[in-house]
Structure 1
Amino acid sequence: MKSPYVNYKLEKLVMVLPVMLILLQRISIPLYSFQLPMIIPVIYAFVILFFLIDKIKINIYRLLLFIALVFILSLTTVLNGNYVITSYLYLIVIYLPFVFVIQNPKLFNQLISYFQNIMFFVALVGIFQFVLQFYFEFFDPMTKLPAEFHTQGYVSTGEVAYGSGIFRANGVFFLEASFFSQFLAIAIVIEIYYFKRIKRIFIKTIALICTFSGTGLLILLLFSIPFIKELKFNHITKVLIFVVPFFIYFIGTSYGDSLIARIGELTGGSKTNSGYIRFFGPLVLLEEQINKDALIFLKGMGAGLSDDLWHFANNPALVKLLLEYGFFSTLIFSMFFFFVLWQSQGKWVVKSSLLVMYMFLSGALLQPQTVYLNLLFASLFIKKG
């Protein structure tokens, strides 16, 4: 007979997931020439354990959509004949946990609260990381990991401006400063909509500024300003007292100029800036490939075969999927992903901010560090009824 106490203690292990999602971002397991991010076996261990204690269930509608997705992905992969098998299998492995659901509103609320506490801690870490470099040499302890265990393909530390010698905060544990900024923006949106703790909003906003990343600020602008009406008068007063003087001072500094320049890059212009790389470059690449072979739009070019085409780090999820698997696979994938979001318990503002982050601001299709943030807050916990 199962002990209710033991089950309760095991159930609380869900709180470990956001910790692992952050602390393990830069750690991978070497498998021959391939790296497996540590968060994948952590998520699978959690799903298996919760399934065994009957705290997580397979959702039949998600399962059917996932089977349809695997079928169409397999069909287009076989028809293309030329593909990277590890890329195809990796896609399936990453998204399989999305067929599982939990119906427990209390546990979801606890998870949200726990994530906020963790992000408050790493926000403080990021602020200290940025400030301390003015007194000591910038230090990133994660670089001391053996190279084979250090997640490759990311610029974890970078200067605010080329040659400045001042490095953007990455909160130590995040793959890049941009990841740190996006996670912070999600945390601030959650704080505004769920908790409204002004001091925490202030601290996380300062940390976000220390990343000098426009992507986090973009999320914040899109999803926090419409919810100012949710704040009471005393909350707005506190925001004005805490934030406005700091903002006015900061904008007048050279660091403020650098941050404004980073935000300005999001509008496009030069082919080397963030706006082009994130929003225009992928579409131009897609158009170029379709012009070369119109059938790519329908059947794709093959799993993993677009990787050598990307001349920039950001490869948006749907563009990469369309390039490699074609229109029908992308359609079924979109149906699966949006159904998962629609079913889930989280408030729409959180789900929408995660969706923007996933679809446009990171190369997230095969990036479990971002994908599983969606799993935790926009998928895993399903609405009752």
Structure 2
Amino acid sequence: MPQFLSPSRRDSPRGGWTGSSELTDLDRMPWGQATMRQIIDAPLGSGERLLLRLACAALAFLILSQKIAFPMIIEVGFYSTYALVMVLVVRNVGVIDPVRMIGYVAVMTTCVLVTLLSPLHPSFSVNAVVFLVFIHLPFIIVVNVRRTFYLKMIRCLQWIGIIVATFVYLQWLQQFAGMKMLSIEDFVPGGFIFPGFNYIQKIDYFSKYYKPNGFFMMETSNASQLLAITVVVELCLFRRISTLAYLFIAQLATLGGTGMVMTLAALPFVLRYVGIKLVVAGIVVLPLALGMAAYTGVLDNAINRSSEFSKPNTSGNGRFVNHFVVAAKSASVDSDHALFGIGAGNVSPFHTDLTTVFLPLTKLSIEYGIPAALLFTAWMTYCLFTAGVPLIITWPVFMLFNMLGGALLIPVNTYYGLLLSSLFVPNRAVGMIRSGRLRRDCPPRSAVRDRPHSS
């Protein structure tokens, strides 16, 4: 049975399955100061090693299987991520965060009640309501881990990014050689392909070249978004110049605009991690990068995409503008539409643009009403920003879910936030000690050292 998270359990590293009860120097280092060699060489307990294998396997399967679904409307990554959380709960490693649970119950109760009690008496999709409840249930679970464990898990994310980047390069080489671009749809039966995404995209209508999608990803934008996260992580936490260049050039090569938006939006958080040498190097490299972007067409593509915001029936307008217009029109019909929505799974009569991508806030406000949408957004924001994960990871993930991905019921975009910014809580006691706010419920190190390890 899942346990509730007490203050002492929240702030004290645990022994047994989640790791050593003693913090190491690496656990106490501020984010971004550890070298990759220190992270690789840092020892893990047997329980930590098993947990790391499970977490990395779940993360890799979630990302690299995102194009595969069973049944067709549910990505298989949903099942693997749920399986990981269930294992953690059964082993009493994952525990319930009381605040998250209260927020979850409040959000889901509101969504169900407005659906059932709406004075508009709309028809609604039971499957949509049930999936909304179940896909977000794992966010009430947290796992206390050491910072060493978390850094090793993020290193696995970087390897996944390198794999996707490699396929981006391979797909370009195939096209330059006059070959057909490698496609996962040639290997997976159509009945197992996740629908609704433009997997194959030409650069433009007249071009003979297609935008690379990294083979595994649902479309170019998904490859661009993953690579954006890994670029920011590499720049701030690991700072391997060759790996950074490999990932960043691949991100540019996808020609994906949303990934570039994520990278640029993370810059204010990046500055606190980079030294003056990297800043100077960036200033020197920037003109070269802009020149390469102009030569390869990336710059023209970005300019053309930005000009789409005011043009109906374009990707830029549908992704960044029109969903707000549709939500505003739906809410302005009358107060009942604003408060209760039009019913789960229903399509707004104002939605006539097939390029429109509804973000969680607008989708919820249309289907469940504005109060439910705002309550959900506040709860999800709390889950993502209170686990003690660096902002340079949390902010891009937050942007992906809330601003760029159309991610409400899409497991891969939803569970980026779960696995990277919510589920695993790096040791919070370190921050308490450093700030001089060590509380009485956090035992002294001698007490922790003498406490026997759990089996």
**Contact persistence 2:332–2:338 (CA under 8 A):** no
SS for the counterpart of 2:74 is strand
**Alpha-carbon distance between aligned partners in 2 of 1:324 and 1:230, rounded to the nearest angstrom:** 41
Q: Which position in structure 1 is the counterpart of 2:42?
A: none
Q: Which position in structure 2 is the counterpart of 1:101?
A: 142
**Alpha-carbon distance between aligned partners in 2 of 1:77 and 1:310, rounded to the nearest angstrom:** 24
Moved more, 307-316 or 52-61: 307-316
Q: Which position in structure 1 is the counterpart of 2:108?
A: 70
Cα offset, 1:368, TM superposition: 1.0
Check if 1:41 corresponds to 2:83. Answer: no
Check if 1:148 corresponds to 2:191. Answer: yes
Cα offset, 1:121, TM superposition: 2.2
Q: Which position in structure 1 is the counterpart of 2:130?
A: 89
> Which is higher, the Rg of structure 1 or of structure 2?
2
Check if 1:365 corresponds to 2:408. Answer: yes
Aligned amino acid, residue 112 of structure 2: S
Q: Which position in structure 1 is the counterpart of 2:261?
A: 218
TM-score, length-scaled by structure 2: 0.78
What does 1:203-282 correspond to in 2, within 5 Å? Answer: 203-224=246-267, 227-228=270-271, 230-236=273-279, 238-239=281-282, 244-253=287-296, 255-256=297-298, 258-265=300-307, 268-282=309-323
TM-score, length-scaled by structure 1: 0.91
Superimposed CA distance per residue, residues 315-367 of structure 1 (whole angstroms, 9 cap, x where no aligned partner):
11100001111122123212311221232121123212211221111111111
What does 1:327-338 correspond to in 2, within 5 Å? Answer: 327-338=370-381
Change (3 A) 1:364 1:225: same
Check if 1:22 corresponds to 2:25. Answer: no
Check if 1:157 corresponds to 2:200. Answer: yes
Cα offset, 1:127, TM superposition: 1.6
Q: Which position in structure 2 is the counterpart of 1:11?
A: 51
Change (3 A) 1:69 1:56: same
**Contact persistence 1:22–1:174 (CA under 8 A):** yes
Check if 1:180 corresponds to 2:227. Answer: no
Cα offset, 1:166, TM superposition: 0.4
How many residues end up aligned between the 2 structures?
Answer: 379
**Contact persistence 1:116–1:187 (CA under 8 A):** yes
Cα offset, 1:213, TM superposition: 1.4
Change (3 A) 1:242 1:197: farther
Check if 1:297 corresponds to 2:335. Answer: no
Q: Which position in structure 1 is the counterpart of 2:425?
A: 382
**Alpha-carbon distance between aligned partners in 2 of 1:246 and 1:299, rounded to the nearest angstrom:** 49
What stretches of structure 2 of length at least 5 have no aligned partner?
Answer: 1-15, 20-44, 430-455
**Contact persistence 1:157–1:168 (CA under 8 A):** yes
**Contact persistence 1:265–1:274 (CA under 8 A):** no
Identity among equivalent pairs (%): 24
**Contact persistence 1:127–1:206 (CA under 8 A):** no
Cα offset, 1:191, TM superposition: 1.4
Q: Which position in structure 2 is the counterpart of 1:321?
A: 364
Moved more, 51-60 or 170-179: 51-60
**Alpha-carbon distance between aligned partners in 1 of 2:269 and 2:114, rounded to the nearest angstrom:** 42
**Alpha-carbon distance between aligned partners in 1 of 2:161 and 2:172, rounded to the nearest angstrom:** 16
Change (3 A) 1:349 1:201: same
Cα offset, 1:221, TM superposition: 1.1
Moved more, 41-50 or 324-333: 324-333
The structure with the largest helix share of the pair is: 1
2:324 to 239, 260, 283: 283
**Alpha-carbon distance between aligned partners in 1 of 2:204 and 2:216, rounded to the nearest angstrom:** 22
Aligned amino acid, residue 352 of structure 1: W
Aligned amino acid, residue 221 of structure 2: S
1:121 to 152, 155, 163: 163
**Alpha-carbon distance between aligned partners in 2 of 1:225 and 1:306, rounded to the nearest angstrom:** 38
Change (3 A) 1:61 1:246: closer
SS for the counterpart of 1:382 is strand
SS for the counterpart of 2:80 is helix
**Contact persistence 1:184–1:208 (CA under 8 A):** yes
What stretches of structure 1 of length at least 5 have no aligned partner?
Answer: none
Cα offset, 1:259, TM superposition: 2.3
**Contact persistence 1:297–1:322 (CA under 8 A):** yes
Aligned amino acid, residue 366 of structure 2: L
SS for the counterpart of 1:35 is coil
Change (3 A) 1:52 1:285: same
**Contact persistence 1:340–1:379 (CA under 8 A):** yes
SS for the counterpart of 1:301 is coil
Cα offset, 1:163, TM superposition: 2.3
Change (3 A) 1:100 1:130: same
